[in-house]
C-alpha cells in the first residue's frame, strides 16, 4: 500500500508503518551509530565549532537515540529540544538521563510537523540524509522545522549538501542481467508445471511477470560500495542545496543538465554511481570556525552505511578516453510513496567528435 494518496496527501498511518517503524529498533540506530565516518563528521562539526552551541538553544530533528542532542548539550548548549517520531524517544530519554543531561535535553516524542516548541532556536541539527541524499524525503521535515523554529540568525547543521554522479564500470551489470534471465526462465518452467499438474494456463501472466522482474533486476538502483577505480569519468554535481534557504519545491523535482568526460582508455561503461556530501559551514553571518565535510564518495579504505547508488546500463557500452557524456537528469518522488524516487536519464555521447543518438533510461530508488 502506498503512503501517498492520488491527491498527493500523505497518509500518516501508512507512512509510519512503511517508513518510521524501522527507526524504532535499536539495531537500526546502532547501524548509524557504528558508521565512523558519519559519527566523526557530526562529532567534529559540533566540538570544533563550540561557539555555535555554547549558551545556545538547539533543535535536533529526528533525534533517534539522542546522540546529536547529547553532543550538543556536552558542547555547552543551554537547552536542546530532541524531537523523535518513534518510540525510540523513550530510549533517547533513558540515554539523556544516564548521561546526566536531563536538565538541558528535553526529549519530545512526536512528529516534527505536529509538535510545538516553547521558543525559537539558534541551531537546527539533523541527520536527515537518505540514499543518494534525498531518498526518504526527510529534508522536508527539517525545512518545516527551520521555517517554524529557527531564529533569523540561526545556523543549520549540516548547512549545505550536494548530489554527485559519475560513469562507472561494474560487474553487477552482468550479474543482474543473468539474475533477470534466470527469473524469466524459471517462470517458463513454472507455467509448464502449473498446466501439467494443476490444469491452469498461467501464460497470460508472462508479460506482467517479465515487466515486474525487469523493474526489479534491471531498473532498480543498487546499494554498492564502489572502489574509486570503478569510476571511469569526471564526477558531476547534480544538485547543490543550501539548507538555510532551500524549499520543498526546490527538492521535490531535481533536474540537471550535466556532462562528464571519460578518463579511462577503452573502458566498459556500465552505468552511473550516485552519492552525496554534506558540509558544516555555519552561515555567512555566523560561519563555522572549522568547516567539516561528510562525504559518501567511493573510497579506497572506508565506506559509509549509505554506500553509493548504482544505476546500471543494459547493455553496457564501450567508451574511450575523451568521449563526452551529456546527461539530462530528472529525479522525482514516486507517485504512491513520497519517500521513494524515480530517476529519468537521457544520455547523449560524443565519440571522436561525433554525436551518437541519445538513449533514455528509467530507474527506481526503492
Positions marked active-site: 127, 136
Nearer of residues 90 and 265 to ligand SAM, judged by Cβ: 90
Task: Report yes or no: 45 and 51 within 8 Å, Cβ to Cβ.
Answer: no
**Least separation in angstroms between CB 211 and ligand SAM:** 33
Q: Which residues bind ligand SAM (CB under 6 A)?
A: 20, 23, 32-33, 62-65, 67-68, 83-86, 88, 111-113, 127, 138, 141
C-alpha cell at 357: 543518438
Q: What backbone torsions phi and psi does residue 285 show, to the nearest 5 degrees? A: -75, -25
Phi, psi of 248 (to 5 degrees): -60, -35
Query: Which is nearer to ligand SAM, 16 or 364 (by Cβ)?
Result: 16
Q: Give the CA dihedral 351, 352, 355, 359, nearest 10 degrees.
A: -10
CB of 314 to ligand SAM, least distance (A): 32
Q: Which residue is nearest to ligand SAM (CB)?
A: 62
The conformation of residue 306, written as its DSSP 8-state character, comes to T
- Asked if 238 contacts 274 with a C-beta cutoff of 8 angstroms, the reply is yes
CA dihedral 78, 49, 163, 36 (to 10 degrees): -90
Choice between 169 and 339, CB closer to ligand SAM: 339
- Taking the least distance from each CB to ligand SAM, the nearer of 138 and 232 is 138
Q: How far apart are CA 186 and CA 205, in angstroms?
A: 14
CB of 193 to ligand SAM, least distance (A): 45
Q: How far is the CB of 137 from ligand SAM (least distance, A)?
A: 9
Closest CA to 140 of 15, 238, 43: 15
- The answer to whether 224 and 172 are in contact (CB under 8 A) is yes
- Say if residues 45 and 279 touch (Cβ distance below 8 Å): no
CB of 124 to ligand SAM, least distance (A): 12
Q: How far apart are CA 230 and CA 289, in angstroms?
A: 35
Distance between CA atoms of residues 11 and 94, nearest Å: 31
CB contact set of 86 (below 8 Å; sequence gap of 6+): 20, 21, 23, 24, 109
Helices (H), the chain: 12-15, 21-23, 26-33, 36-47, 67-74, 88-98, 139-149, 172-198, 206-214, 248-252
> Smallest distance from the beta carbon of 33 to ligand SAM, in angstroms?
6
Nearest Cα neighbor of 157 from 302, 3, 272, 293 is 293
Amino acid at each position: 500500500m502506498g503512503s501517498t494518496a492520488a491527491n498527493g496527501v500523505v497518509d500518516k498511518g501508512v507512512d509510519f508503518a512503511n517508513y518510521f517503524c524501522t527507526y524504532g529498533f535499536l539495531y537500526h540506530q546502532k547501524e548509524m551509530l557504528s558508521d565512523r565516518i558519519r559519527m566523526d563528521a557530526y562529532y567534529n562539526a559540533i566540538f570544533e565549532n563550540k561557539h555555535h552551541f555554547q549558551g545556545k538553544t538547539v533543535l535536533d530533528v529526528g533525534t533517534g537515540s539522542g546522540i546529536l542532542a547529547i553532543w550538543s548539550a556536552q558542547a555547552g548548549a543551554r537547552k536542546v529540544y530532541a524531537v523523535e517520531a518513534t518510540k525510540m524517544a523513550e530510549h533517547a530519554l533513558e540515554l539523556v538521563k544516564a548521561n546526566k543531561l536531563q536538565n538541558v535535553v528535553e526529549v519530545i516524542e512526536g512528529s516534527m510537523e505536529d509538535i510545538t516548541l516553547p521558543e525559537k532556536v539558534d541551531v537546527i541539527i539533523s541527520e536527515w540524509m537518505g540514499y543518494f541524499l534525498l531518498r526518504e524525503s526527510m529534508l522536508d521535515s527539517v525545512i518545516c522545522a527551520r521555517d517554524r523554529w529557527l531564529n533569523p540568525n540561526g545556523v543549520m547543521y549540516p548547512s549545505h549538501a550536494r548530489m554527485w554522479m559519475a560513469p562507472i564500470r561494474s560487474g553487477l551489470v552482468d550479474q543482474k542481467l543473468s539474475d533477470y534471465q534466470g527469473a524469466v526462465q524459471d517462470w517458463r518452467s513454472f507455467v509448464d508445471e502449473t498446466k501439467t499438474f494443476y490444469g491452469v494456463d498461467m501464460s497470460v501472466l508472462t508479460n506482467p511477470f517479465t515487466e515486474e522482474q525487469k523493474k526489479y533486476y534491471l531498473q532498480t538502483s543498487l546499494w554498492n560500495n564502489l572502489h574509486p577505480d570503478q569510476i571511469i569519468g569526471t564526477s558531476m554535481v547534480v544538485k547543490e542545496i543550501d539548507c538555510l534557504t532551500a524549499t520543498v519545491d526546490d527538492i521535490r523535482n531535481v533536474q540537471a543538465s550535466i556532462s562528464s568526460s571519460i578518463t579511462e582508455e577503452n573502458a566498459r561503461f556500465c552505468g552511473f554511481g550516485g552519492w552525496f556530501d554534506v558540509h558544516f559551514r555555519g552561515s555567512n553571518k555566523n560561519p563555522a570556525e572549522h568547516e567539516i565535510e561528510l562525504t559518501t564518495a567511493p573510497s579506497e579504505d572506508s565506506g559509509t552505511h549509505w554506500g553509493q547508488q548504482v544505476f546500471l546500463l543494459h547493455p553496457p557500452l564501450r567508451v574511450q578516453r575523451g568521449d563526452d557524456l551529456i546527461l539530462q537528469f530528472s529525479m522525482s518522488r514516486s507517485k504512491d510513496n513520497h519517500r521513494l524516487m524515480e530517476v529519468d536519464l537521457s544520455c547523449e555521447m560524443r565519440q571522436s567528435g561525433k554525436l551518437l543518438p541519445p538513449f533514455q533510461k528509467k530507474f527506481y530508488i526503492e
